[in-house]
Amino acid sequence: MKLISWNVNGLRACISKGFAGFLQEQQADIFSIQETKMQPEQADVAFEGYRCYWNSAQKKGYSGTAVFSRREPLQVRNGLGLPEFDSEGRVLTLEFSDFALVNVYSPNAQRELVRISYRMAFEDALRAYLSELSSRLPVVLCGDMNVARSPIDLKNPKPNEGNAGYSEQERAKMEQLLQSGFIDTFRLLYPDREGAYTWWSYLYHARSRNAGWRIDYFLVSEQLRDRVQDSLIFSDVPGSDHCPVGLLLTEEKPA
């Protein structure tokens, strides 16, 4: 089974830059996107063979998540069930018979960490939500989590210490999530791989120099560890300031 996740930084713009071609080429079973920046009625977005599910922000042109799935979910849930977070369209859950997919677009703490309190509260609420969900089903968590875990996950760790995406607070929340029973699939398979990034600033030719950050993830609950075949970074795919990431899972073994 192939799953792909991509922060498209505006779906309508990304479609004009080849999004549909990449989606069809990959033939993923489930394709999650973040930062859609649109309501579904703002454009005719449909892809052959895929059912489309949306959680758009109330504010137009902002945030938002969506999932395109070949598999029909048993249940779809928008948000965390908390009004203070759900207006921004940051969490979309699809439950299947063998796992739940949670597509997340974590809030950016912003320059000088002006939104760090909101970010910390969101992380606590997300972790509580995932804990409840994983008590019923194994979980695949994917998306733009807006944090580089450790020095190996960004090109210039020292100058970025304390900045949004690499603050002590954000990194601690990521580790707390992992310690609650989740696995970073990329580091599970490639613990020492350097230069593996998923986001690059538009400034200073950062992408051509590969001066990036790994802030897009596929995490899985411990029950899915043995099903992880590969964790992918499509660093050569243009269309956004992020690149797609992927996860290959073996099919569930019959009981």
- Active site positions, annotated: 105, 144
Length of the chain: 255
Q: Report the C-alpha gap between 26 and 4 in whole angstroms.
A: 9
What is each CA distance from 104 to 64, 108, 144, 163, 165, in whole angstroms?
9, 12, 7, 21, 15
Q: Report the C-alpha gap between 110 and 125 in whole angstroms.
A: 19
Q: Which residues of 122-139 are buried (b: 16+ CB within 10 A; e: fewer)?
A: bbebbeebbeebbeebbb
- Sign of the alpha-carbon dihedral angle for 120, 55, 130, 175: negative
Contact 128, 91 (CB under 8 A): no
